[in-house]
């Protein structure tokens, strides 16, 4: 690790109150970044800020509120003078079977994972436009969005949409902005604690944070890890439907 490779960079982490976002805040703070810490749970963010020390600031926000997202983005820009990197990690997950959907929960998950991403893009793209320096906008998808697997909805559909959204952002802004897609495999967090099945090649959030910190500095569009797991799913995704769909049905049993 280069202790100072993020020195004095202003980084906005959305989803910093737990899991991968919290670990990323610790990692980037150790590497010199100045952070805007966002999520809904303000006490967790305040504790993180106190633990990290330094010049970090807390901006509690419910990303499903478009106006609040716009105002928060403007407030961060005013407080820091510029935003170098924006890392969207907020998400909700509740695995469901398609024949027993909780439709209120479905709406809530789509609201956070997908509408939240649009609220953020709507708020930050004008800010990036006014900044002279080339900023970075990173969206967290998931391997769950690569191909429709059993029992992962509606989370996996929102993650497929995030992959698509990141691709569009790259197509529209890739020449002026550094657009990144983060694609983790299984990471041990409160999100995956809900799973009652074996999670192959699961890693700790601290390791995920190191992968992300490294990847954000790279030229690559997609930051994916762990490599072996990703490789297998990318192969599955690239197969003709006649084969891949047969395999996803086997996973179900």
How far is it, in rounded angstroms, from Cα 51 to Cα 109? 30
How far is it, in rounded angstroms, from Cα 140 to Cα 250? 28
CB-wise, 109 or 176, nearer to ligand NAP? Answer: 109
Least distance from C-beta 52 to ligand NAP, angstroms?
15
Least distance from C-beta 129 to ligand NAP, angstroms?
24
CB-wise, 9 or 142, nearer to ligand NAP? Answer: 142
CB-wise, 89 or 177, nearer to ligand NAP? Answer: 89
Answer whether 86's CB lies under 8 Å from 138's CB: yes
Least distance from C-beta 215 to ligand NAP, angstroms?
13
Least distance from C-beta 164 to ligand NAP, angstroms?
15
Answer whether 201's CB lies under 8 Å from 186's CB: yes
- Residue 77 backbone dihedrals phi, psi, to 5 degrees: -60, -40
How far is it, in rounded angstroms, from Cα 213 to Cα 27? 7
CB-wise, 243 or 251, nearer to ligand NAP? Answer: 251
Least distance from C-beta 93 to ligand NAP, angstroms?
6
CB-wise, 9 or 113, nearer to ligand NAP? Answer: 113
Answer whether 156's CB lies under 8 Å from 140's CB: no
Dihedral sign for Cα atoms in the order 98, 99, 100, 102: positive
How far is it, in rounded angstroms, from Cα 20 to Cα 207? 9
Q: Which residues bind ligand NAP (CB under 6 A)?
A: 15-21, 39-41, 44, 61-64, 89-92, 112, 116, 140, 142, 184, 186-187, 189-192
C-alpha to C-alpha distances, 105 to 90, 98, 117, 151, 161, nearest whole angstrom: 16, 13, 18, 15, 18
User: Nearest residue to ligand NAP, using CB?
Assistant: 19
How far is it, in rounded angstroms, from Cα 141 to Cα 113? 9
Least distance from C-beta 225 to ligand NAP, angstroms?
10
CB-wise, 33 or 140, nearer to ligand NAP? Answer: 140
């Amino acid at each position: 690790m280069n202790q100072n490779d993020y020195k004095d960079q202003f980084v906005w982490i959305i989803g910093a109150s737990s899991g991968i976002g919290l670990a990323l805040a610790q990692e980037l703070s150790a590497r010199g970044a100045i952070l805007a810490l966002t999520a809904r749970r303000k006490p967790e963010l305040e504790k993180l800020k106190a633990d990290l020390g330094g010049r970090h600031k807390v901006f509690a926000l419910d990303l499903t509120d478009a106006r609040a997202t716009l105002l928060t983005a403007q407030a961060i820009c005013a407080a820091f003078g510029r935003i170098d990197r924006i890392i969207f990690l907020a998400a909700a997950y509740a695995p469901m079977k398609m024949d027993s959907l909780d439709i209120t929960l479905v709406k809530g998950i789509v609201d956070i994972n997908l509408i939240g991403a649009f609220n953020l893009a709507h708020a930050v793209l004008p800010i990036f436009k006014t900044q002279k320096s080339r900023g970075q906008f990173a969206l967290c998808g998931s391997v769950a969005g690569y191909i429709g697997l059993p029992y992962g909805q509606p989370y996996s559909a929102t993650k497929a949409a995030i992959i698509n959204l990141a691709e569009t952002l790259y197509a529209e802004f890739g020449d002026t902005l550094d657009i990144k897609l983060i694609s983790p495999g299984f990471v041990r967090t409160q999100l995956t604690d809900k799973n009652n099945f074996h999670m192959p090649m699961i890693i700790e959030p601290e390791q995920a944070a190191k992968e992300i910190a490294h990847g954000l500095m790279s030229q690559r569009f997609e930051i994916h890890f762990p490599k072996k797991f990703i490789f297998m799913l990318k192969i599955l995704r690239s197969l003709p439907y006649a084969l891949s769909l047969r395999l996803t049905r086997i996973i179900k049993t």
